[in-house]
Amino acid sequence: MTILSVNINKIATLRNARGEDYPNLLNTAIDIIKFGAQGITIHPRPDERHVRYQDAMDLKRNISCELNIEGNPIKRFIDLVNEVKPAQVTLVPDSVDAITSNSGWDTVANYSFLKDIVDNFRSNSIRVSIFINPDIKMLEGAKKINADRIELFTGPYAKEFINDKHKAIEQYIKCSEVANEIGIEINAGHDLNQNNLKFFSDSINNLKEVSIGHALITESLYNGLEPTIKSYLEILK
């Protein structure tokens, strides 16, 4: 079964636009879980332009499902994750001013750096996922640093899907086959939506989790949050 983890950064962006607490991020997360999602994902950035570090602590205390915290492992982020102790941390190589995550780690070049961080989090009983491009060398590198999972960056898949879905999925299938062979679990995320998710999830064996935010929240503007979540859950059956 593939878990749907809803990224709520866009809800936080809407809240912050007025400098108040509406919509309330925690209440929205609780509703998302009530509507059937099995996880909540947040990506607190250093400038706190959407999700704030305090949000992470509030969510961990009050939600009943898995919390996944994404981010670049700067010291402040590492300290936050070790304090909150989410079910999962996803390490992403974002620059400080990045609008969104647009590339995965070079797990070979950053072996020593990532290995120390992975060991730190795992010693605190936090599952670690490494955000990578669909590249077998990077996948094997993630295994060598002892990560529990990789998150496949699906931006290139979503872009190519419009033109040729079979070509778009080819490298992801190869990566998933190697991941299953060497014993590292698979997550996926970025630009997945109701049009391209089913083909992706049907093609990837043992896909553990998809993290979806931008498309899901955008579709909810037209269809409502609960029906949209239920549509995604139906796709992932």
| Catalytic-residue membership of 214 | no
Q: Which H/E stretch holds residue 51?
A: none
Q: Which residues contact 41 (CB under 8 A, 6 or more apart)?
A: 5, 6, 7, 8, 67, 68, 69, 70, 90, 189, 211, 213
- Biggest CA–CA distance in the chain, Å, is 49
| Cα–chain center distance at 45 | 14
Structure tokens at 207: 């896909």
Instruction: Give the separation between CA 4 and CA 232, rounded to whole angstroms.
Output: 8
* Pair 37, 4: CB distance under 8 Å: yes
Q: What is the number of other CB atoms lying within 10 angstroms of the CB of residue 132?
A: 26
Query: Pick the catalytic residue: 50, 66, 151, 190?
Result: 190
Query: Pick the catalytic residue: 43, 50, 151, 219?
Result: 43
Instruction: Kindly report the three-state secondary structure assignment for every residue of 60-98.
Output: HHHCCCEEEEEECCCHHHHHHHHHHCCCEEEECCCCCCC
| Catalytic-residue membership of 50 | no
| Catalytic-residue membership of 170 | no
Instruction: Give the separation between CA 113 and CA 156, rounded to whole angstroms.
Output: 26
Query: Pick the catalytic residue: 66, 70, 151, 209?
Result: 70
Residues annotated catalytic, as ranges: 43, 70, 190
